[in-house]
Amino acid sequence: MADRVKEILGWYGSENPGTLTNLYRMLDHGTLAGTGKMVILPVDQGFEHGPARSFAPNPPGYDPRYHFQLALDAGCNAYAAPLGFLEAGAAEYAGRVPLILKANNSDSLYGGSDPIPAVTASVQDALRLGAVAIGFTIYPASAARNDMYEELRELTLEAKEAGLVVVVWSYPRGSGISKQGETAIDVCAYAAQIAAQLGAHIIKVKPPTEHIALDAARKVYEAQGIRVGTLAERVEHVIQSAFDGRRIVIFSGGEAKGVDAVLEENRQTALGGGFGTIMGRNSFQRPHDEAVKLLRDVMEIHRTTWPG
């Protein structure tokens, strides 16, 4: 199995040994160690949605240490969170779970049609906290997209020089696109491509729908007969759009939902060649043991399900 990890590292041949080492640490950690698959626990909802909406359904989650422990108990490959949440446990859990420092964040107290998160942490913070990676959200289709791309460029160069991994959340959103277009298959595939072109090592996108949003794209999808009927097919297309499968692409879990829906979505993702999932609310909002079970079930799917 570790051959698969070696193969994946080979895709990142331009990176220095420091970055390869940290990428290895993520791929070699937890339940999915050595499989080339990844299930990551992200907890930025406290910042993004507010504390009660995030943690009241499972109050132990108010304590930042809970999530380090959950990631550890479930055997996640990594735990991703904003500065404060990582600071509050990084010393106590030092070295026990790979950390991704989420370097930009938005809150919900101010709206606006063209979102841009605040940059809330730096590469220096990631290094002092012992993190293996920085995480960064871009919103293609926002009027402010260039600002995000340029912030990311600077952080990415700095991160790579420091031997860190770069994880990009690529979520089209803003006045350039409709609500429905945000998860359209052509848009999700484009979002994965943009993140890859910007130098991301690991890319997180939303599970795409069958909708095609851009006229110029629709012509090509039809002319070339690109199959997007099932989620597995769409995932396959997104993976192909991220350098023909030579970049790690994982899919977000989205809103809290039932266990069966979560499992089925992951099965489709795995069938399409997806590398795993990054699942927040569906894990930490459940009671601890339920969450561990669900995460392990999802991992089992990814460990055992491979494209046709």
Interactions with a copy of itself, residue window 85-114 (CB under 8 A): 85-88, 90-92, 105, 107-112
* Candidates 25-33, 71-79, 196-204, 259-267; binding stretch for a copy of itself (CB under 8 A): 196-204
Q: Which residue has the tokens 């990428």?
A: 23
* Residue 121 near a copy of itself by CB under 8 A: yes
Stretch that binds a copy of itself, among 71-79, 234-242, 251-259, 298-306 (CB under 8 A): 234-242
Residue 10: CB partners within 8 Å, gap ≥ 6? none
CB nearer a copy of itself, residue 172 or residue 253: 172
Which sequence positions are flagged as catalytic? 171, 204
Paired tokens of 168: 């990009």
Q: Cα dist. 283→151, 261, 286, 297 in Å?
A: 30, 13, 6, 12
Dump the DSSP string for 176-233. Answer: TS-TGGGGBHHHHHHHHHHHHHTT-SEEEEPPPBS----HHHHHHHHHHT---SSHHH
Q: Is 135 in the site for a copy of itself (CB under 8 A)?
A: no
Q: Which of residues 68-87 bind a copy of itself (CB under 8 A)?
A: 82-87
Length of the chain: 308
In whole angstroms, the minimum distance from the beta carbon of 199 to a copy of itself comes to 5
- Taking a C-beta distance cutoff of 8 angstroms, is the pair 248, 202 a contact? yes
Choose between 162 and 214: whose C-beta lies nearer to a copy of itself.
Answer: 214
| Distant-in-sequence, close-in-space partners of 24: CB < 8 Å, separation ≥ 6 | 5, 9
Tokens coding 149: 């791309």
- Residue from the set 21, 33, 72, 122 that interacts with a copy of itself by CB under 8 A: 122
Q: Determine, following the binding rule CB under 8 A, whether residue 197 of this chain makes contact with a copy of itself.
A: yes
Q: What value does the CA radius of gyration of the chain take, rounded to a whole number of Å? A: 18
Q: Which 199-218 residues touch a copy of itself, going by CB under 8 A? A: 199-200, 214, 216-217
Return d(Cα 246, Cα 217) in angstroms, integer. 23
* Residue 17 in the binding site for a copy of itself (CB under 8 A): no
Q: Which x/- pattern over 29-58 shows residues binding a copy of itself (rule: CB under 8 A)? A: -----------------xx-xxxxx--xx-
Which of 100, 116, 235, 248 is the binder for a copy of itself (CB under 8 A)?
A: 116
What is the DSSP code string of 130-178?
A: T-SEEEEEE-TTSTTHHHHHHHHHHHHHHHHHTT-EEEEEE---STTS-
**Residue 249 is a binding residue for a copy of itself (CB under 8 A):** no
Task: Give the shortest CB-36-to-a copy of itself separation in angstroms.
Answer: 17
Using the rule CB under 8 A, which residue among 40, 177, 249, 270 binds a copy of itself? Answer: 177
